[in-house]
Structure 1
Amino acid sequence: MSSLRYSGPSSFYRELAELPVPTSAKFINTTATSGVSVVRVSYSIRDHDRNVKRSITKTLTLGSPDPAISSPVMSSTINHDSPELVAFLVAPSGKRCAVLREVPDANGAKKRYVEVWSGIHIEASREVTKQHGQFHTDDHLGSFSFTPSETALVYTAEANPETTEGQGDDPYPKFRFVPHFGEQMYTKKRPVLFVFRWRSSNLGDTTPTASVTALSLEQPPHTPVIFGQATFVTETRLYVIGYEQTGDGKLLGVKHCFNRPTGIWELVLPSENPDKATTTACKSFKFETGGLSCRSPRVLFDKDRVPTTLFWLSNPLGGPHASTVSLYARDLKGVTKDRLLVDVVYDPSDQEFPGLYTEYSLTDSPFLRFDDKTYIVVQSLWRSRPTLISIDVENGHVIDLTPVLDGQPLYSWNLLGTDGVRSVICARSTPTTPPETVLLTLMQDKFPGTVQVLDRPSLSQELQKALDRLDARIIPIPNRHPVETIVVRSKEPVQGPKPFCLTVVHGGPHASSVTSFTPGVLAYALEGYTVSLPNYTGSMGFGEKYIQKLLGKCGALDVADCIATIEVLINLGLSEAGRQVVQGGSHGGFLAAHLIGQYPDMFRAAVMRNPVISAGELCASDISDWSFREFGLPFEPGTHVTPESFAKLYAASPIAHVDRVKTPVLLLLGEDDLRVPPTQGRGYYHALKGRGRVVDMLVFPKETHSIDGVEAARVSFEAGRDWLRAFTG
């Protein structure tokens, strides 16, 4: 009989998971004379009854940013976003907006439309269903940008498959292999840039003229390249990023990977574009960036909408999948060389700027202008805390806009949008505080400026009281700099044995546990666990030295760091020997499996989501280079596992310790995981089962690496809770 027995719904998980999460914000209109701004804030909400993720939009009318004068929100309206709306873009002038729309037809297929609106009047519209497939709006490939004249825009969509017409009885084109972009992006094989143009109608003609053309290259490069993240800089010039295939014909997975062969390109459109042309051939120029993976081009315009400077993010090509980010700039009005505006920080002190650790892309409009200076605002990790920082575009000077002040909670900050002047909409949360939508207004020589809460979620009285009984802190681990752990626990004194300590290990390994609101983590704390989230060597936010230090030492150094955090919490009296459990996903699952194999008497139970169990058998992963790079082995196009490399990877993997495992194990697998194929978890399940160990496994159809579907995430939490209860009761 299985030890996994359902004990019913969680007391708090559903309420925590259904709280609205701010995802983006756009300033629709700002009136300088009155100081009134209109902001559109989007939220994501999990609906467990319908088993879907829903989105809503709040339109907020904001008054004076001075809290002494008035409340910031003058009015608020809520709209339930239509699933037809794929993307929404406000033009720089604020006079019009563009919409990408997908509308189901009577047969369930989708019709696609591009629309341009001026106020409540439609200025141009065209059905583009026959021109291409789905729109791409993700951070990696998505494009949505107006020309300076606002008479054309660019977007990314999936090209239609090659037609078999004219091929006679040749069946091969239909089945020929086309690589895709990997985990959560497997439907993206042929992304193409499209330009939508329109012009004013003639007198007496009420139908605006609109055309759409796909962009191609006059001289295609030898290595296949796919473009995305396009932004117009003039009427005929765009800056884009190009994803290149490797020499062996792969498109390595890009999700969470900053080391891919990507570069910045300039595309030049012909000055004349025939309305009936289906394809426009462009001249193309690739930036020489010397061994760097580059992305996220952003153009700074002056007050007359003349382009002055191009900025972009970069990481070293190859090496660890994520590392410290650099920010580059190119003068568009002169002939000066590219500038390295923010360099890698190698070994910062505890209080120093640790370097840039941004999201994959900058926000659509990252610029602020005040006091005769221009700044780029980014969200970045500062040790275990996401914060907002400003970067002077002239000298690269960095300021932490949202530092932790004495007596202030451990806020994590997420950038949602800017007004281009001095106001920022962001979300902030702590491990015990749900996300609030906040207006941050910057003042001269005063940081963080004024902070005004625009919107906060409503909690039940019972949940609020439960959260008030929790405490969160960061605890440094002595003699293992810069390792630290975030601990969430009850404030109330303990009578008798200490609560069980749940060590939750993050994946990556180059990611981080942060001081933000995470429903699953918080639900475990409300179940009575002391939850520890260690940032071991290799975690982001601590300096490049410690990312590089882990390479070749996975399964040893990171394991030792996790053990050290457990020992420190025991020594501090926050935990107790013999009352330890562990949970982790991906590389965190790799570490959880290592911990129970190398320390078989330490943990009472373990839960693993899509764990890496045998690094030498990850050939089917969308990031097949990961095992080689992270474990210190050379990797080039055509590299494959040899007996020698497999021996090293096997020795560094949890499977090498399977005979020593005593801890009961629950495995949670996504059936459609392309990053860590489910064969890894299934192999571990059978290996443990064959050795008579206590093991169970849940497999979630149509779920990918993160197992983040509404029902799947809930069941994963409840299963983990019930598994731990079975062996800690």
Structure 2
Amino acid sequence: MAQSYKDCYAIEKLKSIYNRYSFEPIPNKITFLDNGEESSSHPNDEPRMLKIDWRLRDTFQVKAITFQQLYCLQKEIKQYEKIGLPDKQPDVALQTTSLDGHRTVLLLTNKSDSTPEKQFLEIYDRNRLIKTIDVKVLNEDLKIIDQPNFSSFVLDPNGNILLCVAQIEKKSIKDVKDFTPSTCKDYDIDGFEYRQSWGEKFSKIFHSQIVMIDLDSNEHVLLGHEDYSLCRPFFHQSKSENEISIGCVGLKEQPYKLGLIYCTNRNGCLFSVSVKRDIFSKDKGDANKAIVPEIIYGQRSNVSIESPRVYYSRTNKQFDNKVIFLERNSGGPHNQAARLQLFDFETKSIKTIVSDELRREVITNSDGNSEYSDIGPLFTSNLPSNCFSDDGRFIFLNSNVSLARKSFSICLETNTMKVLDFSLTNSTEILDIKSDWICLLGSSINHLPNIYIGRFNGDVEKIDWITVDNRKCALSNLAYEKFCFESRYFPGKFVTGLCTSPIDRKGKVGPMIIIPHGGPHSNFCDEYYQSLALYTELGLKTCLINYVGSTGVDRDYVDALLGRIGETDVQDLYDCISLMIKNYQADPNALILNGGSHGGFLVTNISGQHPELNFCACIARNPVIDVSIMFGITDIPDWNVVEALGLPGSTPLSDIYPKNSDQVSRMFNSSPLAHLERVKVPTLMLLGRNDLRVPHSQGLLFHKLLKSRGIETKCLVYDDVHDLQKIDVDFDCFINVAKFIEKFIF
């Protein structure tokens, strides 16, 4: 290791390095400020005014900061220039703007240790704040859900009716201060009954409903179903002008819930209901009594439904009577390929636009190297909010492929799928579309995320892209390359990955961090990762590995791992390490393991299965240590039996448990704990005390057993959940990881 990097490991220097990247703002939203009439009258003109929301992580205030920047088009040179100073935004929980751009609604939450949490809706027209609504005045028991991945905030085209996801929160015995059972007059016999939440990150969400709010009259109506948590609401075409038609997704709650976050295979149905427009003026009696929508699709299909989207015609000023959505079979691996479906409300028929049975081809390049094709099944859980072309003939979406995130167009008439032609970065994500102007977020391993816009004229292969913000995005000190080799366990299937190096260490032997992803059904992409930029500053090479079972290829590639965790994924990891030593200048005496969740399972597993590799350090974040024990304490017990035993996705919830000692033994034998006696590598454990996915008792067990065997180990426990992404937690993790590595590479 070059001595020139030694100084970077001083704590004050580490703080400075982390802050430099943490304060690098990342764009996450764009607003087209031209109104609809002007845009449609000059369809080929570039949008004159844009507003971009930028977000950074402030380690001094220990909070995420959002600011907005205006941009004005300089038409002569087709470039955008910043207008004025950045405008810091308040802590907005949710935000939506009507399709005509004339009304915006914000949800703000006032949180205080001394007073109850309060929620307010702020309604703006194009010029000013016109109204504030206290949510508790609407309904004292109502709580609008604002957690990402569960919340929704949707306005009708005129900006009069708001749809959001909420739950009714009634006080129980446990909430009453100084409760005395013998003197309580309104004794609640069910006050201590167990209520199951939706798991990790959603531990306070038990049963959700859709709330319709009339922003003019301050009245509301609830939509609910006793057996389903309703979410993802949307408007669709009504049969009469006097009706409002609403659809939503319902997540099945019975017989019990499975953790929802990161899991795209939860059983659900499509619902719909039509209500009279004058419903808000009628006496509703019990404010908590909900209208029950009808199940229109999925009740007998055992499917998972995500991201419903309906086309709105600006010409006819009405919604379509069809909805597109992502669909998977419920059960099985958590992030399998998705089908793109189209449901017709009138005929109640379903049509598949993109099949999940597509296969990606293996392409041999002119240099003899292999790679997977871009066109194939979809690996995404979310469609852009505005995903239709102006005429409704095309939709646009993002999907992971083998080593990137790409954006695609799909013709709804021919089902033809094409990749958006974009060469400025290697990964893209469509953020918004307006009047056929596509807003794209682009990044690469060595390129910070930036915003680009281009106009779609019927062919995604002929779009001229404009860079909105001309800040410096290239990370000139980071070099990287891709690799691909055939898996020894699965002929015809290829392990892929990316390896990075500080530019001055390229071609030279140096310490390398081996990083398998979690999931196991996820994948690394050629996109910006702050962690890789930080490791580069410390003089470290890295290797990101997509083993067989990763997403981005096809169903068969994902299914190949089922029932084989701890075996084929570990072998792919071993072969990848051998390749790094042979061809990519990894120092065999300075190999560092680093992984979280299933990645933590892999690094602790290989450290015991292959101690002859003489790893110098192992960092494990909330690792799975014993699959057989974790089954009874995780919010996703289906993961354990599907991944370790290979049980089919059609297995009913009543059968998701190990049936005999042989199955328990298989779970244990796949686990890192089965190889504990051979572990000799110094190990750092990073654990979240509030982790419901892989409870921190798993990591604590491994730490205690290593310590009892005289293996160097350190364990840090944070007041955080599975992803350890609180700002102060991520900061401390980086400092500790760097100092732990320093001990073994100099």
Name the counterpart of 1:502.
513
Moved more, 101-110 or 38-47: 101-110
Work out whether residues 498 and 576 of structure 1, in 8 Å CA contact, stay in contact via their aligned partners in 2: yes
Alpha-carbon separation, structure 1, partners of 2:87 and 2:262? 32
Judged with a 3 Å threshold, the aligned counterparts in structure 2 of structure 1 residues 487 and 589 are, in CA distance, closer, same or farther, namely: same
Give the alignment's Cα RMSD to 1 decimal.
Answer: 2.6
- Rounded Cα–Cα distance in structure 2 between residues aligned with 1:134 and 1:311: 29
SS of match in other structure, 1:161: coil
Which string of whole-angstrom CA distances, capped at 9 and with x for unpartnered residues, describes residues 6-53 of structure 1?
744425222112211122223343423463444332222100111111
Distance 1:576 1:436, change over 3 A: same
Q: What is aligned with 2:136?
A: 129
The structure richer in helix per residue is 2
Matches within 5 A, 1:521-540: 521-540=532-551
Q: Output aligned runs, 1:144-293, within 5 Å.
A: 144-161=153-170, 168-199=185-216, 209-217=217-225, 220=226, 224-233=227-236, 234=238, 235-247=243-255, 250-270=256-276, 272-275=278-281, 276-277=283-284, 278=287, 279-288=289-298, 290-293=301-304
Letter in 1 for 2:725: D
Q: Which residue of 2 aligns with 1:390?
A: 409
Mapped pair 1:491 → 2:494: no
CA offsets per residue over residues 193-249 of structure 1, 9 Å max, x none?
Answer: 1111144xxxxxxxxx321232235xx5xxx211011112244221101011242xx
List per-residue Cα deviations over 1:241-276 (Å, max 9, x = no partner): 1011242xx221111101101221112335542535
Counterpart amino acid of 1:343?
S
Q: Using the alignment, how far apart are the partners of 1:44 and 1:494 within structure 2?
A: 32
Is the 8 Å Cα contact of residues 391 and 397 (structure 1) preserved in structure 2? yes
Q: Secondary structure at the match of 2:190?
A: helix
User: Alignment partner for residue 72 of structure 1, among 57, 80, 101?
Assistant: 80
Q: How does 1:505-654 map to 2 (within 5 A)?
A: 505-602=516-613, 603-618=615-630, 619-634=632-647, 635-638=651-654, 639-641=656-658, 642-654=660-672
Compared CA separation, residues 117 and 699, structure 1 to 2 (3 A): same
Tell me, which stretches of 5 or more residues in structure 1 are unaligned?
200-208
Tell me the CA shift for residue 583 of structure 1. Answer: 0.4
User: What residue is the counterpart of 1:110 in the other structure?
Assistant: 117
1:90 is matched with 97
Contact 2:358–2:377, Cα closer than 8 Å, also in 1: no
Distance 1:269 1:285, change over 3 A: farther
2:221–2:280 contact (8 Å) kept in structure 1: no
CA distance in 2 between counterparts of 1:51 and 1:118 reads: 33
Paired AA for residue 127 in structure 1: D
Q: Which residue does the alignment assign to 1:675?
A: 693
- Secondary structure of the 2:549 match is coil
Identical residues among aligned pairs (%) = 20
Return closer, same or farther for 1:282/1:356 CA change in 2, 3 Å cut-off: same
One-letter amino acid of the structure 2 residue matched with residue 216 of structure 1: G
Do the aligned partners of 2:685 and 2:699 also contact (CA within 8 Å) in 1? yes
Q: How far is 1:151 from its partner?
A: 2.9
CA contact (8 A) 2:162 2:215 kept: no
- Point out the more displaced range, 682-691 or 472-481: 472-481
Structure-2 change in CA distance of 1:61 and 1:156 (3 Å): farther
Q: In the alignment, is residue 342 of structure 1 matched against residue 350 of structure 2?
A: no
What do residues 446-497 of structure 1 show as CA deviations (whole Å, max 9, x unaligned)? 52611221125568xxxx7xx42321111112455321110111333679x7
Q: Aligned to 1:550, what secondary structure does the other structure show?
A: coil
Secondary structure in structure 1 of the residue aligned to 2:653: coil
Alpha-carbon contact 1:257-1:321 (below 8 Å) kept: yes
Deviations 1:585-606 (A, max 9, x none): 0000000011101111211111
Provide the secondary structure at the position in 2 that maps to 1:42: strand
- 1:441–1:450 Cα contact (<8 Å) kept: yes
Q: Describe the superposition over 1:556-590 as per-residue Cα deviations: whole angstroms up to 9, x where unpaired.
A: 11111111111122221422433311100000000
Shift in CA distance, 643/264, structure 1 to aligned 2, threshold 3 Å: same
Aligned residues: 689
Q: Report the CA distance between 1:291 and its aligned residue.
A: 2.6
How far off its partner does 1:373 sit?
6.2
How far the C-alpha of 1:515 sits from its partner, in A, is 1.1
Counterpart pick for 1:119 among 117, 123, 126: 126
Letter in 2 for 1:281: I
What amino acid is aligned across from residue 331 of structure 1 in structure 2?
A: D
**Could you say which residue in structure 2 is the equivalent of 1:202?**
none
- C-alpha change, 1:446 and 1:161, in structure 2 (3 Å) is closer
Query: Which residues of 2 match residues 308-387 of structure 1 at below 5 A?
Result: 308=320, 309-332=322-345, 335=347, 337-350=349-362, 352-369=373-390, 374-387=393-406
For residue 602 of structure 2, give the secondary structure of its aligned residue in structure 1. helix
Where 2:78 maps in the other structure, the secondary structure is coil
Task: State whether structure 2 residue 485 is matched by structure 1 residue 477.
Answer: yes
Please tell me the residue identity of whatever aligns with 1:486.
L
Separation in 1, partners of 2:392, 2:635 = 43
- Superposition deviation, residue 657 in structure 1: 0.2
Unaligned runs of 5+ in 2: 1-8, 177-182, 364-372
Shift of 1:61: 3.7
Work out the CA distance in 1 between the residues paired with 2:396 and 2:577.
37
Quote how far apart the aligned CAs of 1:529 are: 1.5
Supply the AA of the counterpart residue of 1:229: R
